[in-house]
Amino acid sequence: MSQSSNQALLVSELVERFADRLDLNWICGRNQADSHSLSADSLQERPSLVGFLNLIHPSQIQILGEEEQRWLDKLDSRLRWQALAEIFAAKPRALIVASGLSAGSDLEEQARETSTPLLSSSKPGWELLSVLEYQVARVVAHRTILHGVFLEVFTQGVLITGTSGAGKSELALELLNRGHRLIADDSPEFIQMTPDAIEGRCPKVLQDCLEVRGLGVLNVRKMFGDSAVKTSKFLRLILHLYHPTQEDESSLDRLNRRAETQRVLDLDVPRLLLPVLPGRNLAVIAEAAVRNFMLQLKGFDSTAEFLQRHAQLLSSND
């Protein structure tokens, strides 16, 4: 069970968050800042959230650094006015003049005419871009909540899923005892940071907590120490626990050649099915699954190597 959503960030909120850190100062458009918002809806297209001045693929927030200002200054007054008109015709959410440079009367005039928020900063353009590009993406990125326990196992972000009573929390507790780290229990939140990276975090109300049947809610940080808890991790692998039926037990694939994935937001995440059977040490099996996954990331496939050996043996006996 999951729910997907994305958020919008008002320009006024953006300035409030980063005014001190990035030395953002209003030139004009402050009263219109509440009606200008940034969202991830347009990220399916070429334009980005934050970027340097671009007339072909304009970003939602355009930064005018030293190079952009030099380019504008080389234009005569007519061409400069046309270039600025083209910038504002793209309806940017805001413009930021970097490096303590002057905005220029023509830039300010067009910003006022189009009710576009215009700001200045003493910080260089590259610093504005690196901070805002990452921080804005975190706020407005598409996100979803998945039911399960999210852990760091051997440096990998691993989500343990399964039906109620499958033993997710018990497995998580055993992995914590073996030195691995808890990120979130029950309802971890996942955010699509880039097209190939999804970050998992814990809702504030659930931080440090793990619910175990019969014991209630445990505070993992108090029980195991600060090193047993981590605030976030990129999702790399899903381990799904299930109780096999009698027919399933007789037909379990011992070579496990099925490459399953689960769609999380816009990314297909590798998914392994772990049958819950009497006498199995699921913690050991989960660790082995993660280690094997790490080998596969490096290009080594144990099953493929075994099948190759088997084929070579059969061919040599012919």
The C-alpha atoms of residue 189 and residue 205 are separated, in whole angstroms, by 12
Distance, CA of 163 to CA of 252 (rounded, Å): 19
β-pairing, 156-162 with 232-242? Answer: parallel
The CB density around residue 285, as the number of other CB atoms within 10 Å, is 16
Nearest partner of 294 among 164, 165, 154, 176, judged by Cα: 154
> Which helix (DSSP H) or strand (DSSP E) does residue 170 occupy?
helix 168-177
What is the secondary structure of 139-155 as a DSSP string? HHS-EEEESEEEEEETT
**CA–CA distance from 284 to each of 84, 153, 169, 178, 274 (Å)?**
63, 12, 15, 10, 12
Do 173 and 210 form a contact (C-beta atoms < 8 A)? yes
Exposed, middle or buried, 195 (CB in 10 Å: 0-12/13-18/19+)?
exposed
Closest to 61 (Cα-Cα) out of 87, 23, 30: 87
Q: How many CB atoms lie within 10 A of CB 289?
A: 18
Q: Enter the DSSP assignment of 137.
A: H
* Nearest in space to 288 (alpha carbons), one of 145, 110, 156: 156
Secondary structure tally for the chain: helices H, strands E: 10, 19
* Alpha-carbon distance values, 304 to 163, 237, 299, 307, 312 (Å): 31, 20, 11, 5, 12
Active site residues: 147, 168, 186, 254
